[in-house]
Structure 1
Amino acid sequence: MKIFVTGTRGIPDILGGVETHCQELFPRIAEMGFDITIIRRKSYVKDTMTEYKNVRLIDIETPKKKSFEAIVHTFKAILEAKFQKADIVHIHAIGPALLVPIARLLGIKVVFTHHGPDYDRDKWGFFAKTMLKLGERMGTIFANEVIVISEVINDLLVRKYGRRDCHLINNGVPEPEVCDYPEYFNELGIEKGKYILGMCRFVPEKNLHHLVEAFAGICASDYKLVLAGDADFEDDYSRSLKKRSRECGVVLTGFIKGRKLHSLLANACCFVLPSSHEGLPIALLEAMSYKLPVIVSNIPANMEVGLPYSCYFKVGDVEQLQEKLEEQMEQRLRRIEYDMSLYNWDVIAKQVIDVYKLVLQ
């Protein structure tokens, strides 16, 4: 079975939730004997690899413009899949799903994974939101099989398009790599257990500006706020967020992976995700795998994780977020055992393979 994957910027170690999803999922599927090829966007790739953990990698030139790159890349990827006689094209996210009908017209079977209604993101203008909504429609109606990563998304597709045969397959999280990195902590000027961690892209819907303002309102604290992440495209929002963060003494790490990230997750006081929009946040699942106390907004995607009520605050309510932070800092450093059984990547890989087999029946 030959499967081509598009809709992701690429792997390995490229910023983004879909990218993390693909990096964990497809090597596992390849290990089970399937022929997997991921089409990468060359502008994001900083290596010359042609293979990663048994997954073949093909790089395609695309314009690095957020309004066009996904569509151009997906179109070229579909043509490459047709040329190489792929059995299935697996398209991720609703923007690239706009081209699902073209793949079907070329006689290719299509699996579409819906990672969330991206048209709700603040960064998109009217035209882009319209195209994303159309992409959701095209993917849901014309894909042979549809995978959704949360019940919230499943309900959305039933209500809007009447599609009732979607496959609910959650995002996953790998086993935590608990470690210390004292040299890195000295570089950042932080202490173990004495910092709050935020980890995501610097885009408006993540509401990191609310977290910064809430932290800035806490007086005489010996804690630090650490933001791990960056923007794909530097814009007015990311520039203003970084400026305000520096004014408030926030530690900005940039985009990090590996030991640096693992050490931050292993030694944080708590993890905070104040988003107004999510699909099923991998960053939250990662924090839970490290047994961190978490503080998250009460949007449906976060509520679906089923955390205790005390972990949630009203989205956009900076004062309530500040109270939650203060409560957390007053408590002794603690770790929490979460039920992570739903988020096992090995199980998820087998569930996706079942969908592929269904497509080719």
Structure 2
Amino acid sequence: MKLSVIGLRGFPLIEGGVEKHSESLYPKLDENIDITVYRRKVYVSTYSTYDHISFIDLPSTKMKGVEPFIHSFFASLHALFKRPDVVHYHNIGPALFSPIMKLKRIPVVLTYHSPNYEHKKWGWFARRILLLGEKIALKTADKIIFVNSYQMAKYNENIKKKSVFVPNGINNLPESLNTNYLNKLGVEKGKYILSVGRITQEKGFDTLIKAFKLAKIDGIKLVIVGGVEFEDEYMKQLQELSRLENVIFTGYIYGDNLYQLYTYAGIYVLASYNEGFPLVLLEAMKYGLDILVSDIPATHLVSLDKEAYFECANYEMLASKLVERSKNFKKKTYDLSKYNWYEIARAMSGIFYEVVGTKK
């Protein structure tokens, strides 16, 4: 089977939830599936080889609101003439161009990661385009994969009939024995709060910083891991908000530097206003961290005790919980058996074979 993949920036080591999802999933698909991944050339700096995966790097731009549409349009045209057995689109924006595949009766699978039009970073026009993309993508797709079961439940029976919930997974992440990166940042084992995510408004880092300032926990620092692309003004707001406080922005990091921060953190906080299925939350659970999360549907996709939740955007409530948890940071054990990437890849392989089989 020949599978073409459209809608991500690429992998390996490219920041983003969809990118991390794809880097974990595709190498584990059935070895008889020949995969072509369309990457956005401006993001590709690391080159790796994978069995049964090839890459096509097309020119792209980093212009906010334009980048995914331009790249996905050209990738869709390229895939049309390549004529794969099935095309897998990631998210509703790129899938705006999925009807192109129907010109040659190529089946389409859509993975719906999140309703992007709810994100604060998009303006009015971009939201209208994303809503149009959602309408077209849901109608065109032969099969829809939802990583969030609450999102799937919103749609009518015609959509649900061709939909399936497949959660994100978690890899076997190593605990680090090193502390050199911690030393570089000036943080001590067990004496910092950690949060990981791209610096965008929907991640709620402003709520987290306000809560941290209000909590005033002696000897504890806040470490925020994530890169900045389009949100320069938001980043400036965060830096101003955290001025003279023990807040550290690391930028985008990976490998042992990231493993060190997960291994030795006192507590992990996810303050997002909107998420699909947050991979970083699974990562924090894999490391057995004490966790606090905003009370949104996506954070209820995993099993956490009720005390782990705080009202979304309520920094005073979060501050109170940080003070309480800081009295006794402790490791926990979570059941992550449902989030095995190998099982997920087996299920996804079956979906691709099913869609192709019904079209032959």
Contact 2:217 2:326 in 1 (8 A): no
SS state at 1:247 partner: coil
Alignment-derived partner of residue 245 in structure 1: 242
Deviation at 1:246, TM superposition (A): 4.2
CA distance in 1, matches of 2:51, 2:280: 23
| Alignment partner of 1:182 is 2:186 | no
Deviation at 1:51, TM superposition (A): 3.2
From 100, 103, 108, the counterpart of 1:102 = 100
Q: Are the structure 2 counterparts of residues 104 and 94 from structure 1 closer, same or farther at C-alpha, using a change threshold of 3 Å?
A: same
What stretches of structure 1 of length at least 5 have no aligned partner? none
Alignment-derived partner of residue 26 in structure 2: 26
CA distance in 1, matches of 2:55, 2:113: 22
Amino acid aligned to 2:5: V
SS state at 2:155 partner: helix
| Alignment partner of 1:173 is 2:170 | yes
Q: Are the structure 2 counterparts of residues 220 and 170 from structure 1 closer, same or farther at C-alpha, using a change threshold of 3 Å?
A: closer
| Alignment partner of 1:345 is 2:341 | yes
1:240-293 alpha-carbon deviations (Å, 9 max, x no partner): 213333432201111001101111111111110011100110010110111111
Amino acid aligned to 1:293: D
**Superposed CA RMSD:** 1.5
Q: Which moved more, 1:17-26 or 1:67-76?
A: 67-76
Q: Are the structure 2 counterparts of residues 127 and 137 from structure 1 closer, same or farther at C-alpha, using a change threshold of 3 Å?
A: same
Deviation at 1:220, TM superposition (A): 5.1
CA distance in 2, matches of 1:306, 1:133: 31
Contact 1:7 1:96 in 2 (8 A): yes
| Alignment partner of 1:228 is 2:225 | yes
Contact 2:148 2:167 in 1 (8 A): yes
Q: Are the structure 2 counterparts of residues 220 and 323 from structure 1 closer, same or farther at C-alpha, using a change threshold of 3 Å?
A: closer
Output the TM-score relative to the length of structure 2.
Answer: 0.95
Instruction: Quote the sequence identity (%).
Output: 39
Deviation at 1:50, TM superposition (A): 6.8
Contact 2:76 2:98 in 1 (8 A): no
CA distance in 2, matches of 1:82, 1:95: 18
CA distance in 2, matches of 1:37, 1:50: 14
Deviation at 1:54, TM superposition (A): 4.2
Alignment-derived partner of residue 65 in structure 1: 63
Alignment-derived partner of residue 322 in structure 1: 319
| Alignment partner of 1:359 is 2:358 | no
CA distance in 2, matches of 1:158, 1:68: 30
Q: Which moved more, 1:253-262 or 1:62-71?
A: 62-71
1:163-193 alpha-carbon deviations (Å, 9 max, x no partner): 3330110011101211132211110000111
Deviation at 1:94, TM superposition (A): 1.1
After superposition, residues 112-131 of structure 1 pair within 5 angstroms as 112-131=110-129
| Alignment partner of 1:132 is 2:130 | yes
Deviation at 1:23, TM superposition (A): 0.3
Q: Which moved more, 1:74-83 or 1:237-246?
A: 237-246
Contact 1:91 1:112 in 2 (8 A): yes
Deviation at 1:80, TM superposition (A): 1.8
Alignment-derived partner of residue 198 in structure 1: 195
CA distance in 1, matches of 2:61, 2:26: 25
SS state at 1:271 partner: strand
SS state at 1:76 partner: helix
Contact 1:140 1:157 in 2 (8 A): no
Q: Are the structure 2 counterparts of residues 242 and 57 from structure 1 closer, same or farther at C-alpha, using a change threshold of 3 Å?
A: farther
Contact 2:80 2:100 in 1 (8 A): no
CA distance in 1, matches of 2:208, 2:105: 48
Deviation at 1:235, TM superposition (A): 2.5
SS state at 1:338 partner: coil
CA distance in 1, matches of 2:298, 2:38: 28
CA distance in 2, matches of 1:345, 1:326: 35
CA distance in 2, matches of 1:245, 1:230: 17
Alignment-derived partner of residue 272 in structure 2: 275
Output the TM-score relative to the length of structure 1.
Answer: 0.95
Amino acid aligned to 2:96: L
Deviation at 1:199, TM superposition (A): 0.3
